[in-house]
Amino acid sequence: MAYIAPPLEPPARVLMGPGPSEIHPRVLRALGANTVGHLDPYYLTIMNDLQRMLREVFQTTNPMTMAVSATGSAGMESTVVNLIEPGDSMIVCVNGVFGERMVDVAGRAGANVTRVDRPWGEVFSPDDLKAALAAAKPKVVGIVMAETSTGAWQPIEEISKLVHDAGALLLVDAVTALGGVPVKVDEWQIDAIYSGTQKCLSCPPGLAPVSFSPRAMDVVLNRKTKVQSWYLDVSMLAKYWGADRVYHHTGPINMTYGLYEALRLIQEEGLDACYARHMLNHRALKAGLTALGLKYATVEGHQLPMLNAVLIPDGIDDVKVRKALLERFGIEIGGGLGAFKGKAWRIGLMGHTARPNNVLLVLGALEQLLAEQGHKFDRGSSIAAANGVYG
């Protein structure tokens, strides 16, 4: 008899890692709605409203704002390959895994890449870029606003001015930032930006919101060479997402439904209230972790509210704690990547995950597991500290 795969019964998890985040029940219901054709009048209306809502969360009026039919990494690739032609100069700011990835993507697109590095857990100042801008004379400067591997929150505004004064385009990774902290595309004059659905938007992974400024689109439409990727060529995607609706590919209809509903939830809450919720729960978690004697891996003043990277105390078994959190408490947190591998935990408070019950749950579980490994702290102190923040 032929093998028959077992029925799909995924376990219930509390997703408190670096992504994906927990999915709101309304988004899950939207994913199961009736599928229509990708050129059906109803779907085209959904695309229009999706673009309007994406412009709201990106805080932009850019006409070329859309959702690429792939995950956040395709957002990175789409922005890079559309702006870069072989031989172009590009500066990439590297202070974690995703800056490293941008270097790789840019190199594959044929860019002459200049790296500007900062230690993991730190951020860039304009002074860090001045010499490289003068020497490289780049076409594009790429920077990660919310470095998921370190929890570092990168200020953008002053660097944007410096980049534009040098005559370059600014490309920003907002995969973890969008929906969790302010992202002001027009005010900060960001030329190209990308994100993902599975972080603070609380939608399953599968789409990559992107936005290109008119200046960036002018560069794309006046290239000397074709875009390296047919699938990610924005000059063609613009005709599908624009008024002409020229067929390009079969859009992921039900994923679009999911993102549509996720953005509606943010609209209902309000952007400022959404940011405040992420910050409140971050402050409560940080108070609790501090009471346990845990220190952040990211410099003070630049710690992301939705991605908390904390150093693992001496004598504590990283894998044992994360395994027990998953198996005994149903909680997923992330381990360290790259330079932080085995040295840090990454605790996510993204989107629908950013709720007091999750903060108190993970703190209580950590208290028990750290105590079992001999870590010294006052029992109950983390819960008391978090509740002190909640008032």
Question: Mind listing the pLDDT tens digit for each residue in 286-340?
Answer: 999 999 999 999 999 999 999 999 999 999 999 999 999 999 999 999 999 999 9
What's the pTM value of the predicted model, to 2 decimals?
A: 0.97
Question: Mind listing the pLDDT tens digit for each residue in 198-241?
Answer: 999 999 999 999 999 999 999 999 999 999 999 999 999 999 99
Based on the domain organization, do 230 and 279 belong to the same domain? no
Q: Determine, yes or no, domain membership for 232.
A: yes
CATH number at residue 282: 3.90.1150.10
Domain boundary among 267, 282, 302: 267
* Residue-averaged pLDDT of the chain: 97
Give yes or no for a contact between 81 and 194, defined as CB atoms under 8 angstroms apart: no
Based on the domain organization, do 257 and 292 belong to the same domain? no
Query: What does the pLDDT read at residue 57?
Result: 98
Name which of 81, 65, 106 is nearest 223 in CA terms: 81
DSSP code for 178: B
What percent of the chain stands above pLDDT 90? Answer: 98
Beta-ladder partners of 144 = 173
Whether residue 243 has pLDDT greater than 90: no
Number of domains in the chain: 2
Peptide bond connecting 20 to the previous residue in cis, omega within 30 degrees of 0: yes
Domain boundary among 222, 252, 267: 267
Question: Mind listing the pLDDT tens digit for each residue in 329-371?
Answer: 999 999 999 999 999 999 999 999 999 999 999 999 999 999 9
Question: Mind listing the pLDDT tens digit for each residue in 14-29?
Answer: 999 999 999 999 999 9
Based on the domain organization, do 244 and 294 belong to the same domain? no
Based on the domain organization, do 63 and 210 belong to the same domain? yes
Based on the domain organization, do 243 and 122 belong to the same domain? yes
Q: Determine, yes or no, domain membership for 375.
A: yes
Query: What does the pLDDT read at residue 88?
Result: 98
What percent of the chain stands above pLDDT 70? Answer: 100
Question: Mind listing the pLDDT tens digit for each residue in 118-165?
Answer: 999 999 999 999 999 999 999 999 999 999 999 999 999 999 999 999
Whether residue 9 has pLDDT greater than 90: yes
Based on the domain organization, do 301 and 282 belong to the same domain? yes
Q: Determine, yes or no, domain membership for 72.
A: yes
Question: Mind listing the pLDDT tens digit for each residue in 117-131?
Answer: 999 999 999 999 999
Task: Average the pLDDT over 48-56 and give the result.
Answer: 98
Domain span holding position 207: 25-267
Q: What are phi and psi of 373, to 5 degrees?
A: -95, 10
Q: Determine, yes or no, domain membership for 259.
A: yes
Based on the domain organization, do 237 and 282 belong to the same domain? no
Task: Average the pLDDT over 2-12 and give the result.
Answer: 95
Domain boundary among 218, 250, 267: 267
Query: What does the pLDDT read at residue 258?
Result: 98
Question: Mind listing the pLDDT tens digit for each residue in 253-298?
Answer: 999 999 999 999 999 999 999 999 999 999 999 999 999 999 999 9
338: left (phi over 0), alpha (psi -120 to 50) or beta: left
Q: Determine, yes or no, domain membership for 184.
A: yes
Q: Determine, yes or no, domain membership for 6.
A: no
The dihedral built from the CA positions of residue 61, 67, 73 and 75, taken in this order, carries a sign that is negative
CATH number at residue 94: 3.40.640.10
Task: Average the pLDDT over 195-200 and give the result.
Answer: 98
Based on the domain organization, do 333 and 316 belong to the same domain? yes
Based on the domain organization, do 51 and 197 belong to the same domain? yes
Based on the domain organization, do 319 and 241 belong to the same domain? no
Query: What does the pLDDT read at residue 244?
Result: 86
Query: What does the pLDDT read at residue 1?
Result: 72
Based on the domain organization, do 116 and 249 belong to the same domain? yes
DSSP code for 142: E
Q: Determine, yes or no, domain membership for 9.
A: no
Q: Determine, yes or no, domain membership for 220.
A: yes
What is d(CA 97, CA 147) in angstroms, rounded to the nearest whole number? 8
Task: State how far the alpha carbon of 101 is from the alpha carbons of 22, 35, 87, 94, in Å.
Answer: 25, 35, 19, 9
Based on the domain organization, do 77 and 139 belong to the same domain? yes
**CB within 8 Å of 377: residues ≥ 6 apart:** 291, 292, 293, 367, 370, 371
Query: Residue written as tokens 């709101």?
Result: 24
